[in-house]
Amino acid sequence: MYIGDLHIHSRYSRATSKDCTPEHLDLWARKKGIHIVGTGDFTHPAWREELAEKLEPAEDGLYVLKDEYRIKDEKIPGEMIPRFVITGEISSIYKKNGKVRKVHSLIHLPGLEDAERISAKLEQIGNIHSDGRPILGLDCHDLLEIILELSPQAVYVPAHIWTPHFSLFGAFSGFDTVEECFEDLTPYIHAMETGLSSDPPMNWRVSALDRYQLISNSDAHSPAKLGREANLFDIPLSYDGLSRAIQTGQGLYGTIEFFPEEGKYHMDGHRKCNLCLTPSDTLKYNGICPVCGRKITIGVSHRVEELSDREEGYIRENAKPFESMVPLPEVIGASSGHSASSVKVQREYQKMLSELGPELEILRNLPLEDISRVSGTRVAEGIERLRRGQVERIPGFDGEYGVIKLFSAEELNNTEGQMSFFELLKSSDQQNILDPADAQLAEEQKEDQAKQQEKQQSKQQNRAASLNPEQEYAVRCTSPHIAVKAGPGTGKTKTLVSRLRYLLEYRKVRPTEITAVTFTNQAAAGMRERIEKETGKKQAGHAMQIGTFHAICLNFLKEQGEEFTLMGEAQQRIMAEEVISHTGVNAKPGKFLERVSRRKSGMDRVPSGDAAGADISEDPAWQQAFRSYEERKQELHLLDFDDLLLRVTERIERGQVNDGWERRFRYLLVDEFQDINPAQLKLVQLWSQTGRELFVIGDPDQSIYGFRGADSACFERLGKEYDDLEIISLKENYRSAPQILKAASAVIGAAEIGEKEEREMLRPNCPDGAPVRLVRAGSPMGEAIFIAKEINRMAGGMGMIEAHQTAWEYPEKKVRSFDEIAVLCRTHHQAELVEKCLRTESIPYVIAGREDYLSEESVQNSICFFRLIEQTEESENLPDSPHEESENTHQCEAGNMDGNISGPEVCARYFWKMEWSDMTVEVIRNTMSRYRPLYKKKKPQKFLEQWMEEMKLTDDPAMQKLLQASVFYKTMTEFLYALELGVESDLKRCGSKKYTSDSVTVMTLHGSKGLEFPVTFIYGVEKGSIPLENEKHPSDKEEERRLFYVGMTRAKEELILTISGEESEFTGAIPADVSVHENEEKKKKEQEWQQMSLFDM
């Protein structure tokens, strides 16, 4: 018979002892009498390296510690040498069926080679370096599939299945059935680890578990905790024998169990009220504490009761025997009246091991007379009672540890020394007795709460299904020119979509006569999807023209039959370098292109008769540079992105348009009107000049793109253009809690508005929430660390200890999904700090926005080649000479906009650094012929992985980020479109190579506009950051105020502002009655850990 403890952890896991090394695990296994020990943590690279160094193969699939590493201890009798089996635990945190799931899985492997393969795969998905038990945003179904694919002999066991926070059936984040978790792979699950919080009889009550073997392990976080729970095996000493026993029960004799009542979440109750309840009591009181009227914390027994279909006391047919134990030091302590960790008890413990043998043999089998001879009759009597189950069980609840008593206080009265370890804990007679009057009060409070919730839900449902008077007026208004000022959370998108529906369904306008202009491609896709869903007509959504200015202009030019090639960033940069070199203008390519773009957008203008616009500056060199740039483009039939708008404007003004073009724009709607620049405003005027209705919507207080030519006075300018402009204001806010709204309104209300009328503040329509938190940290990195730790807490803790601590310290706090949380930063550099800390905490995240990596040479090189594949068809031949290439450049039409470049010459120069030659042609031809079919068939992630490997770009940081962005797209064409035309939140990058929808969003304040999150952090709310101060580019203080206002109003329920330097001048306007200041730098969290019970890690 062998004893096996297969679930343990190394020192590389969180909250573990530094003694969790192969040497000490071997030592304590000998002390305990455990024959087979799991290594734990096989995913951690450093631990695998240490195991490979210190272990050597024994029987098939098993290992032993090399003799030179074995700790010699003459006090341990016998020559038993423990075997090691490769094991590890993986924490999966993900969203499934609308709920956040947190499940731990125990993996057994036949060798270190399998561990290497699986770890390499998991490293592509998440961070396996910072914790021995890695936290991955990976569905358990997918994890099981990976394990079986890479190691067919592996044994996958759901770990500690009843633990409230992190388990298959956990009350807070688990499933109700095995099938819901593992779906079609359920047949590959053969065993369940019952965990410290349950024993076999509790599991026998659930008939769905009858087909599974029940195993028990210690989940030890220190070597001394080995064997708290273990398995009894009657098997050949090999991995195959072990695997067969776990999966089929053949050779699984039974288990050694922990008393589940000692667990601190065994029963229901309220720790603050000193109230412990059975599941039936909780049901009787409808889940409301009769003492304080708040929600009762339910325990493991309650969860078992929920899923069970058998009465308590049921014995499963062919059930394996089990033995309930407590560690020997606690038996000694309970028998002598001393603490289990006292010097006296530990001395006696070592004496017993030396004279009697391993601990589990003493507790289970050794004759009582032998024990009495060495340690006295009281210890022998304690062990006898333990074997017979003659113990008093006082269950734990709501974080309060349970108590297992071997002796009463009266029996120990004559014992010298300290009070019993068990007596130090509160006894059951200190718990409150339930009073009928209290119960009645709880019932009434519950009814009142239910009525309030029902009333609030009804109110929210009515709002969702209907429009308020201002919204309805805006939707139905028939004025030819309408401007709607819609503050944050006032239902801007809802009003715009309802307006589109009203035109289609009530006024019977043809969808082909409607154009809706959005600020981002993401907004366009969302609007189209809502139209199709709410009208039930897909044709209407597709027939309407919905898109950004650039996308609509591109489509317009295509319909007009104009032939051109749309330039990519790579080609623009090359052309800028040529122009700068030729004209001698003092500028880098990036700055040159930026100034060209500003000029074309209607900024930096001076009077000029030039049809293309004004001079960039009065400097003759700049004038010449701009002319050279434009002439070179015309020669090659090229357009840059700004040209799309200007070319459409020019064609309409010159009448170079096909008949009937204006039908597309008879009903023109423009979203985010406050952010359009002069060139875009000119287009709006031209498109609507022969139209029937112009409808614009936006918010001057959210005008944040002044650096691109936008102006918060846009509505005033429009009023001067159209005398009959009807202005409608939406003032009912349905997004933010009153405290958040009051704080944000105070910030924007403090703006220097000059002679303007005082702005009308938004009116809240949401329930009261938490005050705005202003949290001070010691440094910028300290801010990022606080944010990561706070997100960890909000999500209920990423590990068991954090989860239990959170449940105790913040019992009334709502547990958040990661996708409910956003972190907003003023700059991309700040976002990098936040990203680093989220990655360290293993928190899944998504970075949104156009980041600097997109301009890196390796990324641009790659995009340049991808655009060439997109441009050319398989049947097309590359030109044989530079001359031929130049002549044929103009033949590419606008229809290929997704990735056009002027020709392979640019690709050759930019990627291969080769001048045009026959050899260059051959290189490009061969590479394209190999990659073209892959480009069309493979998903972007798989395509990029192969490209990076073959081009030796696997370790390139910028390309790694491009790979992380690719996971959001289904085709390379779609991906390339986003890279070329995507703005702000159109582009996203996953924090790992596998995307999970349950991720924290990290983005800039600019990119957050139009979005909302239940919890919003704003990083760096301090002088120099908000408002941003830059010596080269002085900031517009009032635009920075509006930007801060945008960020604050993204929050629905909680808003946290972090600070490390001098506080931003804007925060001074936040009223004291809706805010609270916290000092994270000085706060010293008291971590006076109580002595850990057997239930602890």
Which residues are part of a known binding site? 486-493
Rounded Cα–Cα distance for residues 789 and 279 (Å): 33
698 phi and psi angles, rounded to 5 deg? 175, -165
Q: Which helix (H) or strand (E) holds 87?
A: strand 83-96
SS3 24: helix
Residue recorded with tokens 């500028």: 587
- Give long-range contacts, CB 8 A cutoff, 24+ apart: 946-949: 947/862
Residue recorded with tokens 């009761």: 305
Residues in binding site for ATP: 486-493
Are the beta carbons of 256 and 231 closer than 8 angstroms? Answer: yes
257 phi and psi angles, rounded to 5 deg? -115, 155
> Which sign, positive or negative, has the C-alpha torsion 307, 309, 314, 317?
negative
The CB density around residue 1068, as the number of other CB atoms within 10 Å, is: 10
Rounded Cα–Cα distance for residues 288 and 270 (Å): 10
> Which sign, positive or negative, has the C-alpha torsion 227, 230, 235, 239?
negative
Quick one: angle between helices 45-54 and 112-123, nearest 10?
170
Quote the longest CA-to-CA distance of the chain: 112
Q: Which helix (H) or strand (E) holds 483?
A: strand 481-486
The CB density around residue 561, as the number of other CB atoms within 10 Å, is: 9
Sheet containing 1000-1004, strands listed edge to edge, beginning at the edge strand earlier in sequence: 988-990, 845-848, 1000-1004, 821-825, 1013-1018, 1051-1059, 772-776, 1075-1079
Structural tokens at position 624: 């010449």
SS3 267: strand
Are the beta carbons of 217 and 250 closer than 8 angstroms? Answer: no
**DSSP structural state of residue 1009:** T
For the chain, how big is the Rg over CA atoms in Å?
Answer: 35
Cβ burial, residue 801 (10 Å; 0-12/13-18/19+): middle
Nearest to 260 by CA among 429, 161, 396: 396
Q: What does the DSSP assignment read for 356-401?
A: H--HHHHHHTS-HHHHHHHH-HHHHHHHHHHHHT--EEE--BTTBP
SS3 674: helix
For Cα atoms 618, 622, 625, give the angle at the middle one, nearest 5 degrees.
145
